[in-house]
Each structure stands twice: as structure tokens, then as C-alpha cells.
Amino acid sequence: MNVIHNVDICCGLAWGDEAKGKIVSELIKKNKYDWVCRWSGGNNAGHTIYIDNKKYATHIVPAGVFYGVKCFIGPDCFININALEQEMNYLKDAGFDTSNIYISGRAHIITDEHINIDNEKYKKQQGSTGTGIAPCARDKFARTGIQVKDCIDFPYKVWNDIASPLYGDILCEGSQGFWLDINYGEYPYVTSSNTLPYSACSLGFTHNEIRNIYGAAKVYDTRVGVDPFFEFSSSESHKKIFNDIAKIGEEYGTTTKRLRKVEWLNLDKLIHAINISGTNILIISKIDILEKINKYVFIYKNIHKECNDIKNFQKDINNIILSNCKYIEQIIYSDNPITVELFSNSNI
């Protein structure tokens, strides 16, 4: 009988764009997973991965496809068949095997009508990506939606995850981030999905089988879309530095291509996200960007705290996080790119 052994989860602790794709990529190299799974969202999210120094971007297919690992798109996901076909062809043309990609029959189908409604109603109002996710979610919860299993000519492999549950070692690949979660984000400036690790259990395992929760954050905060709660530092001097960070850090959304808004790392929000998500291994990336501008600032208890150098910056952050987050076992700081060696040596 096939059973689940260990489940690792990678989730975003901010507003998305926290290098989850790169972290997942390195975890696949380090561990022998049987499955890499996506538990929520649709093609409104994007992951960037580098293979042999070549850049690839995916929006719905899990990163296991780049390493020959079986991929599963779960029942809480939203499927745009045309977008999925484009992504499959993109991967095939790049030389990757797509034969081990499976979609839950209970995932919901995004229609042209959903996309039209999204663009007409939500794109300007709430900064939606216009991919039809919100209207599709509306129909799902109104119980009028269309599931993958309802499509007679669905062109890809459908996995009956009730009759044949997942098995072995599983890596769950989160999309977007904590502050975009439909329940915990700054409503209504949120996505239409559950982005927190607890919702990964919709893939078909219990919380008892979770081994590690890898929480991803950047050394500064970024955000795409409308959100009046994001900006804290409003002075012109801060804004000039944020523009420099955005340019040096190449802060453009994988899906939207929009320039991301930048803010200093808000530790109050990060601590809350760590504690609610159950993160035990924290990865903070892009520390090299602050080193390039030689400015080390974070926000704690609604006050700006500036440090003289990166060493004191990391020390202060570590002390604050360890004092407030009881589940943290490891804090990892990373330059860009993230490498597998980071997961063998704690920086804490």
C-alpha cells in the first residue's frame, strides 16, 4: 500500500515574489521527492527558476517538471485550459518532459466569461491580474462552477486523488504569499485563494505528516497591485532608495511584468506571518541588494530601525524573530541566487 512519508511545504510570508520558485528548485535537488504539488491559485502567480543559468518562468505547473519529478495540480486550483496548454508547449519546446503532470479532477475551470468579468470589474478596482480567478472562485462557492472532471475532452492527465491518494515524499509549492491570503490578508486587497500551509492539506494529507514548513521572505518588502496598507515610509528620501532597490533587485512581477512597490522589511508583519503559518525554517533572500546600496533598515513596532552593516542587521533581526516566534529552528540568509548548500548550514 502506498503511504505518505514526509511532506515539506514552501510558503510565501509576504505579498508573493519571495523566491519560492528558487527555494523549491533547490529543495528538489536536495531531497528525493516523489511529488511536487501546487495546492492553490491558478495562472495568476508566477515562479522563476534557473536551470544551467537559463531562466524559466511557470505559472501553474509545479517546479518538479524541471527535474523529472511527478507534478500534481490540486483540487483547490483554478485551471485556464488555454493558459495551461501554452505553458505545456513552452515546457516541451524547452526540452522538458510533461508526461508526469497530473491535474485533480476537482480543480475548477476558468472560462472566457470569468476572464472578461475579471478585466471589466476587478482589474482596475483591486489590481487583479485579470486572469479570471475571482469570478471562477465565486462560481465555485456558489456551487455553479465547472470542474476538470466535467470536461469530456480535457487534454491532460487527470488524477483521481480520492481513489488514488498521493504517496511517498511530497513537496508542496505555495503561490503568492501570506498577506494575499483570502482570510489573513488585508481584505479586500487579497487573492481569492488560501495561500497558507494549512490549505495544502487539501492535497490529501493530514497535518501530522508535515515535516518542515519553509517560509520565504525578502530582506525588504515588495508588492504588486492596489493596497493602501502596504506603504509605511512616505518620505522622498525613502522613495528614492526604494526606486534604487527596485532597479538593482529587478523587481518586476513574473506574471504581471509590473514594477513592484518596495518598502523596508516590516518585522511586525513577518512575525505574524511566521507564527500563523507555522514556519520552522525561514529563508530571507536578496541580502546582497541591501549591501549594494549600503542601507540596512527594518520596521519593528511601527518604528524604523537602521543598522550600520549587514552583520548587525542580521543579528538584530535574528534576536527579534527568535524572541517572538516559537517554531523557528533555522534562519537562512541568502544572496541571489539561492543555492542548495544553504539548506545544509544554518545561519542562525
Q: Which residues are catalytic?
A: 17, 47
Torsion angle of the four alpha carbons 293, 296, 297, 300, in this order, in degrees rounded to the nearest 10: 150
Look at phi and psi of residue 133 and say left if phi exceeds 0, alpha if psi is from -120 to 50, else beta. alpha
Beta strands in the chain (DSSP E): 4-12, 35-38, 47-51, 54-58, 70-73, 78-79, 101-104, 108-109, 158-159, 168-173, 210-218, 220-223, 261-266, 281-285, 296-300, 303-307, 330-333
d(CA 172, CA 8): 6
Answer for the pair 224, 127: CB distance below 8 angstroms, yes or no: yes
Strand ranges, E, within 105-142: 108-109
Q: Measuring CA to CA, which residue among 177, 167, 166, 192 is closest to residue 10?
A: 177
> Which grid cell sits at 28?
528538489
Three-state helix/strand/coil letters over 1-62: CCCEEEEEEEEECCCCCCCHHHHHHHHHHHCCCCEEEECCECCCCCEEEEECCEEEEECCCC
Place of cell 552593516: 309
Number of C-beta neighbours around residue 56 at 10 A: 18
